[in-house]
Amino acid sequence: MLHKRILKTAKAFLLPVLCCILLCACDDPGRRKEIDEFSARYGVPSDSQLIVYTSHKEEVYLPIICEFENRTGIWVEVHAGGTIEMLSEIRQNAESGDNCCDIMFGGGIEAYAANKGLFVPFAADEKEHIAEEFCSSEDLWTPFTELPIVFIYNNKLVSQEDAPKGWADLFDNRWKGLISFADPTNSGSSYTILNTMLLASGQTPEEFIPRFIEQLDIKTEHSSGDVIPSVSNGKYLVGITLEETALKYMDENSDISMIYPAEGTSAVPDGCAIVSGAPHRANAEKFINFITGMETQRYAIEQFHRRTVRNDIDTSLLYTDIPLIEYDIAQAGNDAEKILSLWKKTVDRMEEP
């Protein structure tokens, strides 16, 4: 079983110091120099390091990365932020010739498809046990977990009877300006939601996006992590988020309830990929093998309420069987720039006085 211990024996007292430095490093050159000096001082050679860019929340990435460090002795530097923010930084690094990232961890795989020029092929050791429909035909990314999209509502302010049951219900006048939704130009999961809504509506982006933005009253959350708190505290009445996020919150709070959209939903996996020019390529490969391994996948199910991408784990008793909308990952990746540009232009136009 995975756990939250960091490193064993002599490394245990050094790692909290290093983690503090690494988690705060971001792109500050001074902090990066401090990391290098710390690594040299305590004898952490380059072949025992890994630089991870992640859009996962800390409660997801931290136990996984800590266990990876514990198992391998590899020291991990973490940069955390939104999916689009992290991919943008990776792209800027590549354009400047400063490849200081090994691996991208988190974000819907359509975001990887849209940025496939940033990654290099790698097939996980146990790829034959990963559902084929989630994999890149070129091995440019590896799926981590499957993430259905759901509705949530504040059950203290909205009755089960009145709560929206399907995508079309979100456009009822009673929800205008009261839907919590993250800005898709910042959030990869929000882009997945937007694409799912487009598919469910049967409308073109030009027809649907202005209509949805108007229903939101041009208000969005900065990140996907803000959606559930905003519904829980009553700022918004309903929200659109990931199943795992909703279930995790519902374990500890009774003011949120969850609904699977009646017309069907998407269940697009989040991914992981090795960055082109990765300075610690071999360790990046070890990380992908670790997160797709049986033990980590079981841990994701048990601790994070995430659905495994492995086809050799029986989860029939754990999860609700839900209707799914056919979701074309390649098309979602190809259309990302156009759709996000249309979203931004529409918001800018509506915000004009």
Over range 232-255, report the average pLDDT: 93
Please check whether residues 215 and 179 belong to one and the same domain: yes
> 280 and 180, same structural domain?
no
Write down the pLDDT at residue 1: 39
- Whether residues 251 and 345 fall in one domain: yes
| H or E segment to which residue 302 belongs | helix 294-304
Please tell me the predicted confidence (pLDDT) of residue 26: 41
Who has greater pLDDT, 32 or 101? 101
Shared domain for 106 and 194, answered yes or no, is no
CB atoms within 10 A of CB 347: 17
Please give the pLDDT value at position 43.
62
Closest CA to 271 of 332, 312, 222, 317: 332
The pair of structure tokens assigned to 227 is: 């959606």
Q: pLDDT band at 39, cuts 50/70/90?
A: low
- Asked whether residue 22 is domain-assigned, the answer is yes
Q: Could you tell me the two tokens for 279?
A: 């300075």
Domain count, the chain: 2
Please report the pLDDT score of residue 22 as a whole number. 45
Predicted local distance difference test score (pLDDT) of residue 37: 53
Task: Give the rounded percent of residues in the chain with a pLDDT score beyond 70.
Answer: 88
Tokens 């994070």: give the residue. Answer: 304
Query: Looking at the structure, do residues 40 and 155 belong to the same domain, yes or no?
Result: no
List the beta strands (DSSP E) in the chain.
Answer: 49-54, 75-80, 103-108, 119-120, 142-154, 179-180, 238-242, 256-259, 267-275, 307-308
Distance CA 275, CA 95 (A): 13
Q: Is residue 330 part of a domain?
A: yes
Evaluate whether 82 touches 188 at the Cβ level (below 8 Å). Answer: yes
pLDDT of residue 9 exceeding 70, the answer is: no
Please tell me whether residues 185 and 290 are part of one structural domain: no
Would you say residue 315 lies in a domain?
A: no
Residue 329 located in a structural domain = yes
| 316, part of any domain | no
Q: Which domain holds residue 298?
A: 9-146+269-308
Residues 131 and 159 grouped into a single domain: no
**How confident is the model over 272-293, as pLDDT tens digits?**
999 999 999 999 999 999 999 9
Among 103-117, 283-297, 307-321, the range with the most confident prediction by mean pLDDT is 283-297
How far is the C-alpha of 65 from the C-alpha of 330, rounded, in Å?
29
84 and 29 in one domain? Answer: yes
Please indicate, yes or no, whether residues 158 and 57 belong to a single structural domain of this protein: no
Q: Is-contact 341 194, C-beta < 8 A?
A: no
Q: In this predicted structure, what is the pLDDT of residue 202? A: 93
Please list, in sequence order, all residues whose beta carbon lies within 8 angstroms of the beta carbon of residue 181, skipping any fewer than 6 positions away.
190, 193, 216, 220, 221, 227, 239, 240
130 and 218 share one domain: no
Q: Are 50 and 284 in contact (CB under 8 A)?
A: yes
**165-179, 218-232, 281-295, 319-333: least confident range:** 319-333
* Average pLDDT over every residue of 67-76: 95
Burial class of residue 312 in the structure, from the number of CB atoms within 10 Å of its CB (0-12 exposed, 13-18 middle, 19+ buried): exposed
Same domain, 107 and 196: no
Query: Is the per-residue pLDDT at 108 higher than 50?
Result: yes
The residue among 8 and 263 whose pLDDT is bigger is: 263
Q: Is residue 3, in this structure, part of any structural domain at all?
A: no
pLDDT digits (tens, 9 = 90+) for 166-219: 999 999 999 999 999 999 998 889 999 999 999 999 999 999 999 999 999 999
Same domain, 161 and 244: yes
b/e map of 226-251 (b: 16 or more CB within 10 Å)?
bbbbbbbeeebbbbbbbbbbbbbbbe
Q: Confirm whether 284 is domain-assigned.
A: yes
Q: Check which CATH number belongs to the domain holding 74 and give it.
A: 3.40.190.10
**What residues contact residue 2 under an 8 Å CB cut-off, 6+ apart?**
63, 64, 67, 295, 296, 299, 303
In this prediction, residues 122-139 reach a mean pLDDT of 93
